[in-house]
Amino acid sequence: MATQPNIVVISDDQHRWDFVEMTGRFPVRTPNMARLAREGVWHRHAYSNCPLCMPARCSLHTGLYAHQTGVNVNIGHWPLDLPTLPRALQGLGYHTAAIGKLHVFEAVPEHLDLTTVREQVMSLGYDELHEVSGKALAWHADCEWTHMMQRKGLLDAYRADGSRRAGKNDCFPFQFDASLYMDAYIGDRTVEWLRACDGERPFFLWAGLVSPHPPFDAPDEFFRHYPPEEQPLPVDNPQPGVWPVKRALYAGMVEVVDHQIGRILAVLEERGVLDNTLVLFVADHGEMLGDHGLSGKCHPHDPSTRVPLLARYPALILPGTVSDALAEITDIPATCLHAASGQADVESFLPRSPARSLVPHWAAQTGRATVARPYAEPAPPVREFIYSEDGGQFCPPYQMIRTDEWKYVFFTRDQSEALFNVQDDPDECRNLAADPACREIVERLKNRLLQHIADTPAPLTRRAGEYRHT
């Protein structure tokens, strides 16, 4: 690029793709996400490559799949010697910072204080770091936020509240003032950093928000916007139980995230750098919210694997673009590096990465735009299929491939299979794997899946798993 853009990646945690107001599927207020869609691009078919916190966030930093990094469960910590997006951006002259949740270390078994491993996390390529654990992790581990709560004399009460929630319905609003909510704290630190940034070099900022990950604890001023009786019932689940309340609290947490996005956009605008900043919003994975009788993440269904992905950068993106191209969260680092360097080949920065830059997809739409018919011709696809997997820590492990028409899942523990026609059955209610008429499709997709795994080996000379501390 002629001028290197600033780059801000805003991530949140456990946010399913359809819980944004643009879909109309849920009554949730996300005006700032809608602004990003209106002024940029909304990718409606973006997927997590491993719908679990540590593996997904490692992929977002390395552009690698979980089977390449060895991080396919929430155990140990990331391999700290892999090439990463922030390290590559440092080499391109960027000032790099991370504020909020990264989840490089599991942290829970050893009751780790994340401030004691700051230098190790910064070795991933961050010049500055203000790390926060996450709401549930803060019941057992320490971080910048827990130290703040300790100074205020509130940490013991917060952890007692965690004990009350454990193993129960977990449906209680945040018990303290909303200004102390972890996402508000991350938003405060992010705004402060952006206001203080000197602008001498282009900057890369990772803003890691922690909602709408459980606990289901939206502050009451947001929860009250969402009467549980107005929440749509779960798909393929005749017994909704507590899900209407959980969905209402989840909606409140999503609105909290949206509010922080608005604050970040406002300070970029205030400083006059918004239009020279590539802003990306993405989640690490989704949440089932009772669909198919399932909760949480780690499942191959879309509510778990499919995530919101929005981007704004007027130099590359036609405002109001809606893309149905298949994309992966691994494509985020490739896109950032392409925008920063002008090089589409991500492997020069992240060896053996299967990631694809979204920049050519965006640029093709901009180049074909007309005043009368801005989306008359489709842009080229990003990829033929997406790949996702799960290591089996919380749910049966699987490997999955998804094309425009089909989703095929291979459950590695018992060798069972699932096949869904995602065009005819978008909610994935009819498993066609055993249908004799679909046998050829199953075999073809299974072969493609296995070939893709073979084509994406670890980028190390020894097994990636040997780099994990367990």
Q: Are 63 and 353 in contact (CB under 8 A)?
A: yes
Pick the CATH number of 6-367 from 1.20.140.10, 1.20.120.1750, 3.40.50.300, 3.40.720.10: 3.40.720.10
Question: What does the alpha-carbon distance between residue 220 and residue 255 come to, in Å, rounded to a whole number?
Answer: 12
Question: What does the alpha-carbon distance between residue 254 and residue 259 come to, in Å, rounded to a whole number?
Answer: 9
Question: What does the alpha-carbon distance between residue 51 and residue 53 come to, in Å, rounded to a whole number?
Answer: 7
> In Å, how far are 9, 13, 84, 206, 279 from 332, measured between CA atoms?
9, 16, 12, 12, 11
pLDDT in tens, 70-97: 999 999 999 999 999 999 999 999 999 9
Q: Which 3 state secondary structure label does DSSP give 49?
A: coil
Question: What does the alpha-carbon distance between residue 102 and residue 225 come to, in Å, rounded to a whole number?
Answer: 30
Give the contacts of 450 (CB within 8 A, at least 6 positions apart): none
Res 393 pLDDT > 50: yes
pLDDT of residue 375: 37
Sorted by where each begins, the domain ranges of the chain are: 6-367, 386-467
Question: What does the alpha-carbon distance between residue 101 and residue 9 come to, in Å, rounded to a whole number?
Answer: 12
pLDDT in tens, 228-241: 999 999 999 988 88
Q: How are the residues of the chain apportioned to helix, strand and coil, as percentages rounded to the nearest 5?
A: 35, 15, 50
Share of the chain above pLDDT 90, in %: 85
Q: How confident is the model at residue 400 (pLDDT cuts 50, 70, 90)?
A: very high
pLDDT of residue 238: 81
SS3 readout for 242-267 = CHHHHHHHHHHHHHHHHHHHHHHHHH
User: Which class in CATH covers the domain with range 386-467?
Assistant: alpha beta
pLDDT in tens, 288-306: 999 999 999 999 999 999 9
What would the mean pLDDT of 189-193 be, rounded to a whole number?
98
Res 165 pLDDT > 80: no
Beta partners for residue 321, in sequence order: 41
Higher pLDDT pick, 184 / 345: 184
pLDDT of residue 13: 98
Q: Are 65 and 174 in contact (CB under 8 A)?
A: no
User: What is the separation of C-alpha 176 from the centre of its chain, rounded to a whole number of angstroms?
Assistant: 27
Question: What does the alpha-carbon distance between residue 60 and residue 199 come to, in Å, rounded to a whole number?
Answer: 25
Q: How confident is the model at residue 371 (pLDDT cuts 50, 70, 90)?
A: very low
pLDDT of residue 379: 59
Higher pLDDT pick, 198 / 32: 32
pLDDT of residue 422: 98
Q: How confident is the model at residue 167 (pLDDT cuts 50, 70, 90)?
A: low
Share of the chain above pLDDT 70, in %: 93
What would the mean pLDDT of 96-111 be, rounded to a whole number?
93
Q: How confident is the model at residue 380 (pLDDT cuts 50, 70, 90)?
A: low
Range from 145-154, 167-176, 300-309, 438-447 carrying the lowest mean pLDDT? 167-176
Question: What does the alpha-carbon distance between residue 229 and residue 253 come to, in Å, rounded to a whole number?
Answer: 17
pTM for this entry: 0.94
Average pLDDT, the chain: 92
Res 468 pLDDT > 80: no
Res 465 pLDDT > 60: no
DSSP-derived pairing of the beta strands 95-100 and 203-208: parallel
Question: What does the alpha-carbon distance between residue 129 and residue 120 come to, in Å, rounded to a whole number?
Answer: 11
Res 218 pLDDT > 90: yes
